[in-house]
Amino acid sequence: MKNSTILHEVTPEQITSLFEGLQNQLTELKQNFQPKEPTVWLTRNEVAELLKVDLSTLWNWQKKSKLVPFGIGNRVLYRRSDIDSALILLGKDKGGNDE
């Protein structure tokens, strides 16, 4: 009996309860499942255009650690998620626009 499990003194109700619990866990997992989003990489020019700033502003933000650049070869890239998280909400008390 290779790859088999023998159950001793287990009632059908216990087995049913076990499967119902597994089914509930599976249903919850399906409802809360969030597939992993692929990382979106942007060039310096794309970030500057997106934020409507000059390349020198990106350089200043990089020096102040407001944006973290990544590089490969001669390319400088930014993660879109880092840019989104670097943006801060400006409330009414701070002079921002609440739309």
* Per-residue model confidence as pLDDT tens digits over 73-90: 999 999 999 999 998 877
Instruction: State the DSSP H helix or E strand holding residue 70, giving kind and residue range, or none if neither.
Output: strand 70-72
Is the model's pLDDT at 19 over the cut of 90?
Answer: no
SS3 (DSSP) at 41: strand
Instruction: State the DSSP H helix or E strand holding residue 60, giving kind and residue range, or none if neither.
Output: helix 55-63
In angstroms, the first-to-last Cα distance of the chain is 68
pTM across the whole model: 0.56
Q: What angle do CA 80, 38, 52 make, to 5 degrees?
A: 20
For residue 9, count other CB atoms closer than 10 A to its CB. Answer: 5
